[in-house]
Amino acid sequence: MNRPLIVVLQVAVLLGGLLAWHLAVTTGIIGSPKQLQFFFSTPQQVLLRTWTDLAGSRLWGHIGVTLTETLLSFLIGSLGGIGMGFWFARKPTMAAVFDIYIKALNALPRVVLAPIFALWFGLGIWSKVALGFTLVFFIVFFNVYQGVREVSPVILANARMLGLGERQLVRHVYWPAALSWMFSSLHTSVGFALVGAVVGEYLGASAGLGYKIHEAEGVFDVTGVFSGMLILMMVVIAIDFLVGLAERRLLHWRPKVATE
């Protein structure tokens, strides 16, 4: 496919959307501009607010807090998920016993946990890390569990015939297989770490992007809310880009999936 053409079309979609928004809230074709702007703000105001915020230093503090929470919940959740996934995959009895509890816990909507975590860990970053952890852990856990259990029997038989003992099988076969599954869910788990952080901040915090959006909502500052959302989107896309780079490095042994 034609790459430059795609980019041009992507930009066109963005400009078209902004233009439609602008016309809808300023020309009065669908109602009073004053009223509409209270509810929907205008593209100029949102962009201007975002620009001044990014130029100042306060916003970067919020971004820093959110990123710290995201990173911590991703790291702790991944470590827990890998450890537990590995353990369960190698000990089928454990897996059989705990299977139902894992499923039950995973079925719980995480939002209901947020107040409890705030109570246990306070309004600082750790209650958000805990919330992110409950999201990341299960994704990584299920992926690693499946990855270890679904190692090709032929590869395993071959490795055994080559003289690999149990510990060497873990190192040369199970571990790389599990990691490849974990990395393939990297986009999802990093995304969920961020969701955990923002939702946690939204429900009770004194810093972070979720807090900033919540604060703007509290005073009916629609421009502030949209600007917060815009910044959140930019952060997500930046993180996604970095994860893509990491993935390409870590999974370089994999066949390239045809995307185009």
Q: Where on the chain is the footprint of another protein (CB under 8 A)?
A: 152, 154-155, 157-165, 168, 172-173, 176-177, 180, 252-255
Smallest gap from residue 9 Cβ to another protein (A) = 33
**Least gap, CB of 245 to another protein (angstroms):** 19
- H or E element that contains 82: helix 58-90
Beta carbons of 131 and 110 less than 8 angstroms apart? yes
How far apart are alpha carbons 219 and 221 in whole angstroms? Answer: 5
**What is the closest distance, in whole angstroms, from the C-beta atom of residue 163 to another protein in the complex?**
5
| Residue 53: HSE in the Cβ half-sphere, 13 Å Cα cutoff | 24
Closest to 41 in 3D by CA, of 216, 173, 204: 216
Report, in Å, the least distance between residue 183 CB and another protein: 11
Q: Would you say 76 or 169 has its CB closer to another protein? A: 169
User: Cα angle vertex 165, ends 164, 171, to 5°?
Assistant: 75
Output 77 or 147, the one with its CB closest to another protein. Answer: 147
User: Judged by CB, which is closer to another protein: 173, or 213?
Assistant: 173
In the complex, what is the shortest distance from the CB of residue 236 to another protein, in angstroms, rounded to a whole number? 29
Residue 25 exposed, middle or buried by CB count within 10 Å (0-12, 13-18, 19+): buried
Q: Which residues contact 56 (CB under 8 A, 6 or more apart)?
A: none
CA angle 190, 192, 83 (to 5 degrees): 70
As measured in angstroms, the least distance from the Cβ of 162 to another protein is: 4
Q: For residues 178 and 203, which CB has a smaller minimum distance to another protein in the complex?
A: 178
Nearer residue to another protein within complex by CB, 131 or 148? 148
Q: Exposure string (b/e) for 158-169, b if CB count within 10 Å is 16 or more?
A: ebeeeebeeeeb
Nearest CB to another protein, comparing residues 90 and 160 = 160
